[in-house]
Amino acid sequence: MKRLSLLGSTGSIGKQTLDVVRQHPDMFSVAALVVNTSIDTLEEQIEEFHPLLAGVVDEKAYRLLKDRYKGQTKLVGGKEALRQAAVLEEADMVVTAIVGAAGIEPTVHAIEAGKTIGLANKETLVAGGPLITRLCEEEHVDLLPIDSEHSAIFQCLEKQERSNVDSLLITASGGPLRTWPSEKIAKATVDDCLNHPTWSMGNKITIDSATLFNKGLEVMEAHWLFGFDYDHIKVVVHPQSIVHSMIQMKDGAVLAQLGMPDMREPIQYALTYPQRVELAMKKLDFLEALQLDFMPPRYDDFPALRLAFEVGRAGGFKPAIFNAANEIAVYAFLDRKIAFGDIYKTVCKVLEQAETEPEFTLDNLLAMDAWARDKARAVLG
């Protein structure tokens, strides 16, 4: 029985993780659930999965739940909830399904407590790559990818000699604006962007898919997960999202992992790795009409992707700044305070102001993240 601590249980990844757990009651149990504010859904999840601990990060929502909840599960409020769930003795694996750099501290706590990490929260690895990978090595902790592209690459790389692999080919759906004319893109509305053609996901990552910031974050995520330099990571647009990603070998052969665009498949593989078990979902069927297209990204029209390569190559705290500024700009866009084109411009302006590169410690990372958020807010006025 694998006991899970699930950070962000009411989100898109969180709910799909619980669906995988629901399908395999003999394999998994839930030790902890943590959410930000959604206490009604959390209460239903507590009722169904009986965790030892349930956390609500938002203090007001926590007090509301605390006042009405009469069951056995221990309730914890505030950021302390994330820490306690991350280090809980009765948990073997921590699934990081919260959004953004808020995942940095709990992920660090979980690694220091020796927990296997099921990594959905890519922002943490992008911002904290040097620190997170160093800690994982020191603590002999596995980071198992949940992001579909990274799960695909992880599966393709299994049993391959690293020296035989030339490059990683990350596929991208291209997002909802893939075919838009160049001059219209900067004026895309929130509704245009939330209408994703192939994946159903949380709002933040859906906007990131429209700007291609998501693909940029994934390029850096792949760099840290698999240790490939940026000259050997390539992005290929593939609108059907069936080929989840590929690797190209030294001799030119390409290995790919395919499946339906359904996150339960990579989630389950992270949870059962190295085993495979049955999963009830629609499977890919080659006897149905199936068309697979591939094309290069439109770097000039979606400049965030090119910027991500630059930032990744620059290293240090640049990826953390890139990520933090993007988070602020995305939420401003979702609040309809700025235009779509302003997201990229904000991130560029914050990066231009970055000067110091202190030692890569957790404290400096959190300080740099906070600095970039302040600068982004100032840029946005």
Does the footprint of ligand NAD cover residue 11 (CB under 6 A)?
A: yes
d(CA 360, CA 40): 39
Helix 122-139 to helix 213-226 angle, to the nearest 10 degrees?
A: 10
Q: By CB under 6 A, is residue 128 in contact with ligand NAD? A: no
Q: Which of 4, 5, 14, 257 binds ligand NAD (CB under 6 A)?
A: 14
Look at residue 97 and give the partner it binds from ligand NAD, Mg ion, none, a contact being a CB closer than 5 to 8 Å depending on partner kind. ligand NAD
> Does residue 205 contact residue 99 with C-beta atoms inside 8 Å?
yes
Of 165 and 262, which CB lies nearer to ligand NAD in the complex structure? Answer: 262
Q: Work out whether 265 is an interface residue with Mg ion (CB under 5 A).
A: no
b/e per residue 202-227 (b: at least 16 CB within 10 A)? bbbbbbbbbbbbbbbbbbbbbbbbbe
Of these partners, Mg ion, ligand NAD, none, which one is at the site of residue 57 (CB under 5 to 8 Å by kind)? ligand NAD
181 class by beta-carbon count within 10 Å (0-12 exposed, 13-18 middle, 19+ buried): exposed
Q: Calculate the alpha carbon distances from 21 to 46, 86, 264 in Å.
A: 13, 18, 10
Rounded Cα–Cα distance for residues 141 and 121 (Å): 16
Q: Does 208 bind Mg ion (CB under 5 A)?
A: no
Binding mask 65-94 for ligand NAD (x = CB under 6 A): -----------------x------------
Residues 183-242 that bind ligand NAD (CB under 6 A): 199, 201-202, 204-205
If one asks whether residue 147 binds Mg ion (CB under 5 A), the answer comes out as: yes
Distance (Å, rounded) from C-alpha 127 to C-alpha 140? 21
259-to-72, 255, 276 alpha-carbon distances in Å: 40, 14, 14
Out of 21, 61, 88, 97, name the contact with ligand NAD by CB under 6 A: 97
- One of 98, 143, 347, 354 touching ligand NAD (CB under 6 A): 98
CB under 5 to 8 A by kind: which of Mg ion, ligand NAD, none does 99 bind?
A: ligand NAD
When CB distances are held under 5 to 8 angstroms depending on the partner's kind, the choice from ligand NAD, Mg ion, none that residue 120 binds is ligand NAD
Residues with Cβ within 8 Å of 253's Cβ and at least 6 positions away in sequence, in order, are: none
**Minimum CB separation from Mg ion for residue 59, in Å?**
32
Q: Which does 264 bind (CB under 5 to 8 A by kind): Mg ion, ligand NAD, none?
A: none
Closest CB 246 distance from ligand NAD, rounded Å: 18
Cite the beta strand spans of 185-284 per DSSP E.
233-237, 243-249, 254-258
Tell me which DSSP letter residue 231 carries.
G
Least distance (Å) between residue 84 CB and ligand NAD? 12
Question: Which residues are at the interface with ligand NAD (CB under 6 A)?
Answer: 8-14, 34-36, 38, 57, 82, 97-99, 102, 120-123, 147, 199, 201-202, 204-205, 263
